[in-house]
Structure 1
Amino acid sequence: MLRAKLSAVARVMPILGLAVLAGCSSTPDDPTANWSPNRIYSEARDEVSAGSYDKAIPLFERLEGRAAGTPLAQQAQLEKAHAHHKAGEQAQALATLDRFMKLHPASPAIDYALYLKGLVNFNDNLGLFSFISRQDLSERDQKAAKESFEAFKELATRFPDSRYTPDARARMTYIVNSLAQYEVHVARYYYRRGAYVAAINRTQSALAEYQDVPALEEALAILQRSYRALGMTQLAADTRRVLEKTYPGSAYLRGEEVSRAGQGPWWKLW
């Protein structure tokens, strides 16, 4: 009985060996095996220029390992993050940037890493179908916008003379305006559905948290109309006086609705 089992095993072993060899022979060779780090970097950059981010990313990953401990490896990390960003892989881009900043806190490229982190979250707010619905940042979830603001703020605070700081500051201004407009967007939603108390709460939140932003004009108008709809005439009159003093030429004082539908997309600012 034992001899029969051993004989069966002996017959199977050559077959397994052939299978292993076949598997090994089908494993593709690494075409970059004999490439220098500079050639890998050059090829990766060419793929990025061609928009082939799916091909560039693995090349940058190989370069990270091949040039470990050198400035070129750090450059590969940053450019891989940028390639992920351009490919729409925002989570991978952010993970790569966080890893870079953790491993290289003293790198001279930290300012760019912060700037890119801000850009990744900034663009993420737009959403895939915003160009169809004409939504802007103020009409979408604001978590990424706040994270973008924090990255730009850290850049501007730590590196005020960085070449990226002026654009970061401009985007911070846009984000603040967007966050205020988001509050007003929600208040408008409540007002149009007759949820006047909720509209009041939202506009008061915007007025308390933000200053000198365009959205506050509409916030005051919604607040006044909500008070009036609830029969709170004194508060409505007080709010109107504030609106008259702050925005004397406001179309809301004439009872007009200011449509935002004709405004162009925010990104034309850049």
Structure 2
Amino acid sequence: MQKIKIAFLLLSLLFVFSCSKETAKPDQAFDAEKAFATANEQMERKEYEEARTSFFEIRNRDLTKKYAPLAQLRIADTYIQEEEPDRAVEEYKRFLEIYPEHKYASYAQYQVAMIYFNQIESSERGYGAASKALAEFEKLKQMFPRNPYRDILDARIEKCKDILADYEFVVGTFYYNKGSYDAAINRFQALLQKYPGFRKEPEVFYSLASAYKKHGNKDKASEYFKLLIEKYPNNNLVPEAKKELSPGKK
């Protein structure tokens, strides 16, 4: 009798369990498309922290992987809107690590470059920002040759180079005025090699020639005074260069 009761109890439990399986409703599937639209609406309302939370959820729960990459990009975008460029760079770079072949990878790379580029005007970060921006722009050009930013890319690369060259010229001039002619010569020579066509090239030629003269190397001094005259005959430094080359000049 006891065995029958136990068997009946087991059958009852199995019946209840099977009924519960039939009547229980499965969890609703996560609607990534709807969640993405909602998160974008939060962005439009400038609710950046709330939007970021929504994008994080999409990134982690989107099983289709259609909206997860877009959510990762938008996470970075929220930091741009909140003026947190360093965190934005981290998130754009995370996107590039996870989705290097994605159709918006060039956008992420461009955003990284532009974050540094927009810091150039700041005097305390100008040189460092220009150096980083140049590296990121050149990476964009190399990795994504058909990127949609080609029309403006070269101009921004040239601006970065111009700032870096200007910095080298300032440092070289500092060494020259200090009497450290070897250091000045090295800076001016490196500038000419790394940044050909620099807008202050005539001044660099003149300063380099003067540094060689102070250093006692008259042949190299004459070489750069002549180069200045030949390449920039109408420059206002040419009369001074000609005086330096005159026979009576010591």
Scaled by the length of structure 2, the TM-score of the pair is 0.71
Is 2:238 aligned against 1:253? yes
Aligned to 1:66: 58
Letter aligned with residue 127 of structure 2: D
Kept in 2, the 8 Å contact 1:111–1:155? The answer is yes
Per-residue deviation, 1:244: 0.9
Aligned to 1:52: none
Say which is worse superposed, 147-156 or 97-106, in terms of deviation.
147-156
Is 2:111 aligned against 1:126? no
Kept in 2, the 8 Å contact 1:64–1:74? The answer is no
Alignment partner of 2:223 out of 201, 218, 238: 238
Distance 1:215 1:46, change over 3 A: farther
Kept in 2, the 8 Å contact 1:156–1:169? The answer is no
Equivalent residue pairs, number? 205
Kept in 2, the 8 Å contact 1:57–1:80? The answer is no
Highest Rg: 1 or 2? Answer: 2
Distance 1:119 1:188, change over 3 A: same
Work out the CA distance in 2 between the residues paired with 1:225 and 1:239: 9
Gaps of 5+ in 2: 1-33, 242-250
Alignment of 1:102-251 (within 5 A): 102-127=97-122, 130=123, 140-142=126-128, 144-251=129-236
Letter aligned with residue 40 of structure 1: A
Distance 1:100 1:242, change over 3 A: same
Per-residue deviation, 1:96: 0.3
Say which is worse superposed, 189-198 or 218-227, in terms of deviation.
189-198
Per-residue deviation, 1:58: 4.2
Which whole-Å deviations, capped at 9, do the CAs of 1:135-178 have from their partners, x for residues lacking one?
Answer: 8x8xx433x43332232223223333322222222211222222
Is 2:87 aligned against 1:88? no
Letter aligned with residue 75 of structure 2: K
Per-residue deviation, 1:211: 1.8
Per-residue deviation, 1:57: 4.1
Gaps of 5+ in 1: 1-34, 48-54, 257-270
Is 2:125 aligned against 1:100? no
Distance 1:89 1:197, change over 3 A: same
Alignment of 1:39-50 (within 5 A): 39-47=38-46
Letter aligned with residue 125 of structure 1: I
Per-residue deviation, 1:102: 1.4
Partner SS for 2:198: coil
Per-residue deviation, 1:115: 0.5
Partner SS for 2:179: coil
Work out the CA distance in 1 between the residues paired with 2:165 and 2:211: 18
| RMSD value, Cα | 2.6
Per-residue deviation, 1:231: 4.1
Per-residue deviation, 1:215: 3.4
Per-residue deviation, 1:202: 0.5
